[in-house]
Structures are given as C-alpha cells and as structure tokens.
Structure 1
Amino acid sequence: MSSSTHSSNPDISSWSFDTVLVANRGEIASRVIRSVRALGLRSVAVHSDADADARHVRDADLAVRIGSAAPSESYLSIPAVLEACRRTGAGAVHPGYGFLSENAAFAEALEDAGIVFIGPSVHALNIMGDKIRSKNHVAGFAVPVVPGIAEPGLSDEDLLAAADDVGFPLLIKPSAGGGGKGMHAVQRADELPEVLLTARRVAARAFGDDTLFLERLIERPRHIEVQVLADGHGSVIHLGERECSLQRRHQKVIEEAPSALLDEATRERIGEAACNAARSVDYTGAGTVEFLVSDAAPDEFFFMEMNTRLQVEHPVTELVTGVDLVEWQIRIAAGEHLPIAQDDVVLTGHAVEARVYAENPEAGFLPSTGTIVALVEAAGEGVRVDSSLLLGGTVSSSYDPMLAKVIAWGADRSQALDRLDAALADTVVLGVDTNIEYLRLLVNDDDVRAARLDTTMIERKLPDLAFRTVSPEELALAAVMLVEADVPTAGASPWRRGDGFRLGASRPRALHLEHDGATTVVGLRQEGTGWSATIGDRTIHVSAGGAAIDGLRSRRQHTVDGNTVWLGDAGFSAHLRRPGRRELLDVVLSRIEREEGAIDPAVRSPMPGTVVSVAVEDGALVEAGDVLVAVEAMKMEHQLTAGLSGVVRLSLKPGDLVRAQQIVATIESHADTQASPTDSPTASPTASPTSPTEGSAA
C-alpha cells in the first residue's frame, strides 16, 4: 500500500469544506498543515500570544490569535477556537493531539456549529475517553483486558480496600486523559495512601476529573499499539503495530514499526482485537488501540486504552505503509470510502522515531527554556524530521517540551537505527538544553539494538548512561569567545576593551565559567594573533576567533549568546556561562556565612514555572527530604524538598510564578530541635518530576 497508489488528489469541490483550521501548535500543527495544503485546501493556524511568531503560524495560509499564553485561555478554549472558525470560514477542524483532540464537548460544539470535526463521533469519544468505561466496554467485544478494579466514582477508601485483591505492585491510573499522563506505580501497600493523594491532585489539575482506578502492574511489559483506520461506511482496517516500550515515566521516548517481538500470527490477532475495539464504537478516522504485551509470553496481550486521535509516533507507520494518515483523516471526514481492504496492507522495511525534548537528562530531565541561537536539522536518505523549531524562536515554559521528532526508515531494523543515530548526530539545537545525546546513547544501547525492550528498561539503564562532559579544550574555546565578544566596535575607546588590552605586554585574564553544575577558572593570555589558556596544569592554544584549537575537531558548533557560550558536537551540547561580579561575590559571602561543607539552607526552583501546591506553612518544623513546594513547568510537576531539618520560611502560594534559581524557601537550622512525626508532613515517595499533566505526548 503506497501513498502514490492510493492518495491521488480527490475532487474536493464535492466536499462540504475547503478550509481546515488546525486547533493545535508546535510540530503537529505544522505537520497537519502540510497535508492540508497538499490536498489543495486552505489552512488556518491558531496561536497564543506566546506563539505569534511560531513555525506553524508561518506555515499556514492564515493565522488567528486566540488568547494569552496560558493553554486554558487559548488552545484549550472552545469558544476561542469556534470564534476563529467563524472569522476564517473554516468548515473543518483538525485537533492534532493533546489539548482538545479527545474532548467530546469540543466535538459536540463543532457539530452544533455545523463544522466538521476531523476525528471520531462524540459517542466514540465519550466511550473511549474514559479509561474505566472503555475497559469495561471492550471486554464485551473479544478484547482482553488487564486485571484490576475499574468502576466510576471510586473513593480512596474503595481503592484501598480493593488493592489487595488487585495485587501489588499495582498501577494507579486517571480515568480521563491519555498518553501515560498522571499514572503512578505503587510497589507496597503502605505507599498507596500518599500516592493516591498525589494522583488525585494531578488528575484533577490536568483533566478536570480526579477519577482513579487500579490495575495490576505487569512488570517488564512491552507497550505495543495498533494503528486503525475506519471510514464512515463500515470499513475498518489496521496498519500494523508500533513498539513503544522505550519509555520514561510512562512517556514514550523512542518508537518503531513494526515490533520485533510479534510473529505474523500474533500480529494478526492483535490487529483484529484493535479493529474489534474500533467497531465496538462505530469508530471513524485514524485511531490507536494500546496494548500491554508480556515479554515472557508475547502471544498474550491486554487492552490498555484507545487513543481517539493521531499519535505522536504516527510517522513510523506512515513510513512502513506509505499511507499519509492525516490525509486519510481529512478524506474520511469529508465522507470518502477507504479504497483498500486489510489484505492490501503491506509493511515494508522498518522505521524508528526519536522525540527531541527541551530538557536536561543529566539534571533529572528538568525542562529547559530559551531562544534557539543555532539550528541544523537532519536530512538524507530515509530521514524525516517533523519540527516546530525556528532559528531565533523561543521555547516557552507554557507548553509541552517536545521540540521535534527525528524519524528514520531502513530496509531492516539495523539500518533504520543506524540512520536514526546518524540523523541525531547531525542535529544541532543550541539555546536550550536537549535530550539528543541521551537519545543517541539509547539508540546505541546493546539491549535496544537486540530488541530486548520493556517499559522499565530506561529507568534501569539511566544511572549507567555515560554522558559526555565539557572538555578542557572546550572550556578554553568558550573563554576566548567570551573575551573576544567584549571587544568594542571599530572607533570605540580602547580603554573600554574587555579583552585585557593595555599598553605594553598583554595582561593575563582569569574567567570563571559555570558548566555541568561546577565552576572552572580559565587563565587567558594573548599571544600574537591567538590566546594561551591555562586550566589547572594544562595549557591550550586557541587562535583568534576560535578557528583553531588544540585537540578540537572542526565539526563542533559554537555560538555566543550574551554571557553564555553554547557548544554542540554530534548530539552533545552544553552551555558555559560567565557569572557577573555580583554573583561571584554572593557565592563567596554565602560560603562565609555557613560552615565548610554545610548544606545551603536556601531552596531554589531549578526552572521557571508556576507554584501548584504548598505543602507546609511558614514557620513549620520540617525534616530533611520533606516536600515544601511543587512547581509546574512545561506540564511537568517538580517537588522541591528541604535540604536540612529546621524551621521553614516561605511566602509563596499556589498560582505564584517563580524564576529559575529563585529562592522559594529558606530553612533555619535548629541543632537541638528535631521535627516530630506529627509536626512534619509525610515525605513524598519521590522528589523527582512526576508524570506530565497535559500536552502533546502520546
């Protein structure tokens, strides 16, 4: 089955719409717009204030502002999207994924307004949009389900009472939402009450519905999903499966098609189960049915959920089938028949996708914001990039941190992985931290290469991943670049030069550079047309402009952004910042005020974000490790904890905005006072980021 055979341009003059509004942002909005325009239809983008200059806005024929940066005031606002349709004459809406894509009220509002929703019926959205309802529903249509308790309106007491029957370890799941967001694994019964509180809070904030249910946790499972396609005339087919087992905190990182685990007989059975799930709700359009498959018994699979929308990983299916899924979503919404039957579907070769995120894997995957100061996107045989990136574009804390997807096709799995690795090495994104180096480490892992995958593999391997650090040569280059950036323009007074200029011999310089959580002092002395850099007992020679550096290859990318140098090399990137004099003085003073080696009493937010909860009151006694404040950024919740025991001082409240490195609390240590168990809040089971609460991950 190929797009050239089955995707000739239709006669759109008979359709009820000629303009499609894309109710989304980022890479998926640009990708949908590409297919809309290829069909000869007019494309409309919507944008928040934060996205006024975004790539998807530039890609569309027309763009409309729909609100402020907050998703609730823009991309999640049904009235705002309806008004944009009215203003532009859009007769159809493609929702992408995330945001309103699975919102039955949105689909119903479009239907009432006479606008085509490029997605399934309200009935299908209502059934499949609730995990409890969908699980109970498909069980009656020959679709196997995971053991557990799934009933509407279960209280914490109900869930605690049922937990022993479900068995530990178990998984808490929100009934609303999707994409693995808000799921929590619980290993022991004594952990369950506290995790239930967190799970309800996350579910309520993310989905407006705190309904929870429990499932048996299948340890080391494979996550395999099946792509279905159904028209409005009774035809339902599947386009094979995708392996999505490489996940971190229930969020997919690398996906591929087809799965190396399944044989043809199992592929046929799981595909038929997916089609049965779709038929059970008279599904139309593109959808995905997700299954857990036992690695030990690959012929056993269990229904998890149905995603009633396009998936982030849909490109791998497109590459092995030749089908443009977005095109067929639009065609089906326009009333066309599927031109093929199940026997016509052929999977050719192998495809693998990696998600590029604005995050720092070495710092607990903290999200990163900033301005893109250097950008190179991969190209070549078998390589596809779906991206939201623009040189000079801003990565905001308001939205999901996914920036792009790098996808590679090969004649077999090995070639696809090799091409993906090379494409990631060719990708340069400087100005924000990214996970590109981390993706390359995963792609080249022995177990990944051998297809020994499961959904917990990344968590087990992460501590042993060997991330590269900044080299002395790169430190020398950064120091030279920063000093040379201080040189004034021609005609300016030489007394304002920042490069050590003076009459006679050049004055040695000493630059402090922050990098990788440390600070290094680099000594510089000008020598003819170049520089001599001293780092510890090393001396490194750097030519003017950094054109030649001892020990550095020419492939390395580098750029100066204010007081920061960004470096990139085959997927690795780093930023080296020169702190100001005031910052250096503050560090010295803070060390004077406390004993050598003592813990800093200040608790700082590691990133800009919004306070979503405050766990303690000002003046309360706390113990080291107690959760103080939860901050959300890029749809991730981060819990900030006390570094030592004492009295906490804070003045924040939910809804407050915080800056990166802003002090959110201070602990006044009391050497002779210990907080009693009744005085201090119970420590959270984790002080690391929780699952994303909303966004485009799928």
Structure 2
Amino acid sequence: MFATCRRLGLGTVAVDTDPDADAPHVAEADARVRLPKVNDYLNTEALIAAARAAGADAVHPGYGFLSENAEFAKAVADAGLTWIGPPIDAVRAMGSKIESKKMMAAAGVPVLDELDPESVTTAQLPVLVKASSGGGGRGMRVVHELDALPSEVAAAQREAQSAFGDPTVFCERYLPTGHHVEVQVMADTHGTVWAVGERECSIQRRHQKIIEEAPSPLVERVPGMRAKLFEAARLAAGAIGYTGAGTVEFLADNDGEFYFLEMNTRLQVEHPVTEETTGLDLVELQIHVADGGRLDAEPPAAQGYSIEARLYAEDPAKDWQPQAGLVQHIDVPTARTKFATLGARTGIRLDSGIVDGSVVSIHYDPMLAKVISYAPTRHQAAMVLADALTRSRIHGVRTNRDLLVNVLRHQAFLDGATDTAFFATHDLAELARPLVDAEDIRLSAIAAALADAAHNRSTAKTSGVFGSIPSGWRNLASGYQVKTYVDDSGDEHRVEYRFTRTGLMLPGDESLQLVSASADDVVLADGSGVARRYTVNRYGQDVYVDSARGPVHLTALPRFPEPGSAVEKGSLVAPMPGNVIRLGAAIGDAVTAGQPLIWLEAMKMEHTITAPADGMLAELNVDTGHQVEVGAILARVETPEDS
C-alpha cells in the first residue's frame, strides 16, 4: 500500500508493535506510531488514537487483523477519518460467514448448507468446522469421525478467539476434491460493479492458500463457467450495496458447479496476480473509490498468466511447523519489480514483508514474502516462478521454498489438475523433499570447506611469503585437513582435502578440480571440465551454499564437542518458540507413540508435541502458561529399552 501511496504522492503512517519495530513497512512510512502491546493490532481505540496523533485523514485496513471488522470500520468513520474500504453495513453483513451465507442464498447465489455442530450426524461426515469470523485457515478443522467433533470444535473455537476475538464456529459439508475459485470485484459509489477477473487458489495447506493464479485452469477449461461466476459475484456485491475492492469466494467441482463460501470485504493477499493480468493497481483503485471517484464502464480485459507463491517460515515435512527466528539474508535476484506490476513483461515481482535482519516472531502470521510471476503462457509463468524461487537466497529460518518449487514443476500442476486435495493426492513427503540430491549436498559441503579454508587464510595473521600459502599445504605428503558438516536431514558430511604442488587433492575424487576459491565464492570443475560456482555464506555454525544446483544449508560441527551437549534419548524438543496451553499427561503416566503430550500456541495456531514412542513420561519441564524457546527440552519419554 505504501508503494502505491508514494506513486500517488500521498504521505503514509505506520503503526507497529515491538516485534515489528524493525519491519520494512515501518521504515517505508513517513511517520510511525508505536502500539504498546503485541495484540494492539486488534485494539480499535489504540489504532484510532494513532491515526489522530499522526494527523492521518484516511485508514487503509490492509488484509489482516481488523480489516473485516465492522466495529473498527465504524470507529474510523466516527473519528472523522476516511475508511478505505466497503460500506460499514457491507462489512457487517459479510463479517459472519453464517449470516452471509443466508443472505447469499436469499439473493440466489448457490451455497453449501450450514450445519449445526450439535446436530451433525454420521451420514453428514466429513464436515468442515469453520470460524464464523476472519479467514486465513484459522479456526478450521476437517472432521471424519463423529467422536472427534467436540474436541475439534473446541480447538477451532480457541483458535478463532485468539486470531479474531470471536469464538463462533459452524460446520458445512466438506468437499475433499473441490476447487477454490474466487472473483475479484471492484465497485464505485456511482453504481458500477466490476468483476475484474477470477483466481484459482486450490493449492492449500491447513485450508490456507499457498499458490494462487489467474486465470483459473478450471474456469479456462469449462465452457461458460466464467460468465456464470462473474454474474454470481456481481449479484453478491449488489445484494449488499458493495463498494471498493472485495473478493467473492466459491468452491467448485470438476464439472464447474460452484457454491458460495464467503465474501472477503478487503484486499486479498493474492491480489497481485489479478494486477499482473489486468495492469490495474487495486490499491490505487481502492483509494480512488474511497475518494468518490468513478470506474470506467468495464474493467480492462485480462491477458497472460500470473502465479503467486507465498513464502512461509515453516517446515512442510514436519506437519507445516511454523518457524521463528532471524532472517540473515533474503534476495530474489531475478525480481524486476517490488510492489508494482511488471507491465505485461515476462518476469518476477516481489512483495516482501522482510529484509536482511528481520526477525520472524511467534506472534503473527509466518508469511515472509510473495513471489509473483507473469508470462504469456501458464507453463512459462510456472517455470519462471520455480526458477526464481530456486535461485533465491534465503538464509536463516527454514521456509517452504522447496515445496513451492516442487509443486510448480509437478506434472499435475502443469496440467492444471489443481484441487484442494493436491497434497493428499500427491505424496507430500516427495513434494517437500529438498531441491538438491545427495551429490549436490556433497559438492556443496566440499565448497563450504574450501571457502572456510580461504576465509581462515584471508584472516590469518601472517605476513610475507607464508601469507599466500594455502591452509594445510605441505611440501611433503601429509595428512588431510578435515571439516565435518550436518545437513538438514541429519546426515554427516566429512570433507577431507589437502593442497599439493599440483592443486587440490580429495581422497577418492581426483577428478574434481578447484578453479578458484575465496571466502564466499568457490568454483569447482568435474572430470568433464564443466565448472560450477558455489556461493558460500556463514553465520556462526550455519553455512548456506547457493548454486544453480539448488540451495544447501549445513551446520558445521566443532572439532571438539562440549561434554554433555547431546540431547538425551526420548527428549521432546520445542520445534518453535511458543506458549504452552495444554498438557496431555503427567510425570509417571504411560504414553503411546503419537499421543499428544503438549500443546503449543504460536502464530495464532495450535501445534501438538507427541510422544516419540511407547513408554513412560519420565520428565516434564513445562506447565500451562509457560513461554518456551526453540530447542528447549520440554519433556522426556522413557521406553522399556532405556530402563
């Protein structure tokens, strides 16, 4: 939003909490107002006071927190500020998914029937438990067994309360292989309602979108579906007197039949793909409409294809565990623009919420950035985006980057076979696998060792002729120098090398030749004379090696480990910082493998820590309410073999 305001010559004010004090949006703003508490993004009074103190005359709600809260919109208007959003009554009408579905059904928009959690029957399973307020996958649970419904409803209520301040949930029939298709609408105060274009957002995890695209592959192949979708979206907007930007979301089957899900009375995270295919700046249009401006009679025609990948700090291979910590470095070298359309040029756009040195906290959503491609064909848009992600340098927290690339290159995705069951249909473990193979990791470890040697040589306090001699060089044959690394799979890589009169010597791999080496750049050539460059960055014991083969993260092992540094067998280690909200067992209790023992809340979501094996809970180092750091030993399960 700030980028658009700058292009329009408008001043900007940012609000921030302590975890966001160094966030890019704060640095980009002309003025900033600190909010004293981490949850003050939900504090209407604090936000209005901040706007008044800064002399702002309008409020843009973004696409999170209070962006769809009618009471906040009313408070903004009551304070004499311009609300850059739809009418308050429209926000209120669509703020409850329960009531909005009733309204849409009355207006003739097809809907899925609402189910009361208290009266769901076995015949109606599976069902989807949903939060009535908010979105982003919070407060959503798929239930296949009737006995599990009460506990899943309770968990959904807790998440909904934490994320949106409203614990209301409901159920609806769950379609495991549906398509999530949405229509971007834009309406002015003079009666013009645009259906700007559709997006498909079916690649989801935990009911939250991670890859979105325009146009929709499903709509492209079903004759007449686009016209019906657009008509339903305009009907939905007209039924509530909508103005501004909004999104009408539908769930569709493979035949193109669709049902209303909800209407988001705000800008969507995935709005860039619509901007890329239409050339519009949707934020600029929001401001234009809020200022009383008129839209043209028809929106511009869409052309080309755009795909957005959401880069999250999470580990897909470990049940999508969110990650927190320091982002050492982030760079998408192929990006042509930031927060601006590519102008119908094939390429990459980056909309990022982080920079080098940003800290990903446990308090907010783990999305780091959005990487968006545009190209004349869908296949090219997917390939360009996959290449950009592969070449990106992301150092620090673990991300879902490898998963995104593997999905974009998967044949089913390229064929347009994208539905909400994509990760259930295709092997998630395979999709989450690293982009590099064992040989790539081995070569990266060699490059890391040689770069480390060059670094030591460049920083050594030597002078004269000895300063130019490679580390470990001997006039006569001698032993090898050794460096050991561990990759993200836990495999050790022992690198043995020495420098001789004829160059680098690696035992068992005499064909590999060192072309050049510096502290951060190594070029290796194989036996065929093909040379490849490896860029090496180190942060303490963490080493990141980037090359055309793919990214590799290594941990350098010390030559002499400290006594007692190993984690005891059966220990449950905190995978992220978080707050302990529940315990599932007490010391001395018998537990079974996979049994939930500890519930952590982090990033507004619940995460369970389970027993690694059958045994007894021998240690429990936390209690409810405890705040824990990543790597903390929470508990220990003792198995009969350990006794």
Structure 2-normalised TM-score?
0.87
In structure 1, the partner of 2:630 is: 660
Partner of 1:5: none
Correspondence 1:190-589 to 2 at 5 A = 190-262=147-219, 263=222, 265-295=224-254, 297-298=255-256, 300-338=257-295, 340-342=296-298, 344-368=299-323, 369-373=325-329, 375-380=331-336, 381-383=345-347, 384-461=349-426, 462-465=428-431, 467=434, 468-469=436-437, 470-486=440-456, 489=459, 491=461, 508-518=480-490, 519-527=492-500, 531-533=504-506, 542=514, 544-545=517-518, 547-551=522-526, 554-570=532-548, 572-580=550-558, 583=561, 585-586=563-564
Q: Which amino acid aligns with 2:164?
A: F
How many Å apart are 1:33 and its aligned residue?
0.5
**8 A contact 1:622–1:648 mirrored in 2:** no
1:373, 1:559 within 8 Å by CA — same for their partners in 2?
A: no
How far apart are the structure 2 equivalents of 1:477 and 1:243?
A: 41
Residue 290 of structure 1 aligns to a residue whose secondary structure is strand
CA displacement, residues 54-102 of structure 1 (integer Å, 9 cap, x when unaligned): 222232222332235x3x04x3332332222122110111111111211
Once the two structures are TM-superposed, the CA of residue 199 in structure 1 deviates from its matched residue by 2.2
1:162 equivalent in structure 2: 120
- In the other structure, the counterpart of 1:56 is 25
Question: Deviation of residue 447 (structure 1)?
Answer: 1.3
CA distance in 1, matches of 2:404, 2:571: 34
Residue 342 of structure 2: aligned partner = none
Moved more, 423-432 or 169-178: 423-432
Change (3 A) 1:477 1:570: closer
* Superposition deviation, residue 635 in structure 1: 4.0
> Which residue type is aligned with residue 495 of structure 2?
V
Distance 2:606 2:443 in 1: 37
Q: CA separation in 2, counterparts of 1:490 and 1:584?
A: 25
CA 1:305–1:430: 2 relative to 1, 3 Å: same
Deviation at 1:128, TM superposition (A): 0.9
Structure 2: unaligned runs, 5 residues or longer: 337-344
Return 242-251 or 518-527, whichever deviates more. Answer: 518-527
Q: How far off is 1:448 after superposition? A: 1.1
Task: Describe the superposition over 1:35-61 as per-residue Cα deviations: whole angstroms up to 9, x where unpaired.
Answer: 112222111222222333322223222
Query: SS at the partner of 1:476?
Result: helix
Distance 1:400 1:357 in 2: 9
CA contact (8 A) 2:17 2:34 kept: yes
Cα 1:491–1:635 change in 2 (3 A) is same
Are the structure 2 counterparts of residues 346 and 544 from structure 1 closer, same or farther at C-alpha, using a change threshold of 3 Å? closer
Distance (whole Å) between structure 1 residues aligned to residue 280 and residue 176 of structure 2? 34
- Look up the equivalent residue of 1:602 and give its one-letter code: S
Q: Is the 8 A contact 2:98 2:114 kept in 1?
A: no
Check if 1:95 corresponds to 2:61.
yes
Aligned residue for 2:121, secondary structure, equals: helix
Aligned letter for 2:141? H
Letter in 2 for 1:428: R
Per-residue displacement from partner, 1:206-245 (whole Å, max 9, x unpaired)? 2222222111111311100011111223322211211111
Cα shift at 1:474: 1.0
Q: Residue 683 of structure 1 aligns with which residue?
A: none
Aligned with 2:399: secondary structure?
coil
Of stretches 109-118 and 428-437 in structure 1, the one that deviates more from structure 2 is 428-437
Instruction: From the superposition, tell whether residues 550 and 361 of structure 1 become closer, same or farther in structure 2 (CA, over 3 Å).
Output: farther
Query: TM (normalized to structure 1)?
Result: 0.81
1:627, distance to aligned residue in structure 2 (A): 0.8
Q: Mapping of 1:11-160 within 5 angstroms?
A: 32-67=1-36, 70=38, 72-73=39-40, 75-149=41-115, 159-160=117-118
Alpha-carbon contact 1:240-1:317 (below 8 Å) kept = yes
Tell me the distance in 2 between the aligned counterparts of 1:224 and 1:398. Answer: 30
Which moves more between the two structures, 502-511 or 329-338?
502-511
- Aligned-pair Cα RMSD in Å: 3.0
Q: Which has the higher contact order (CA 8 A, sep 6+)?
A: 1
* Equivalent of residue 187 in structure 1, options 131, 140, 144: 144
Shift of 1:402: 1.6
Unaligned runs of 5+ in 1: 1-31, 151-158, 591-599, 674-698
* Residues 354 and 588 (structure 1), Cα distance of their counterparts in 2 relative to 1, 3 Å cut: closer
Q: Percent identity among equivalent residues?
A: 41
* Conserved 8 A contact 1:625-1:642: yes
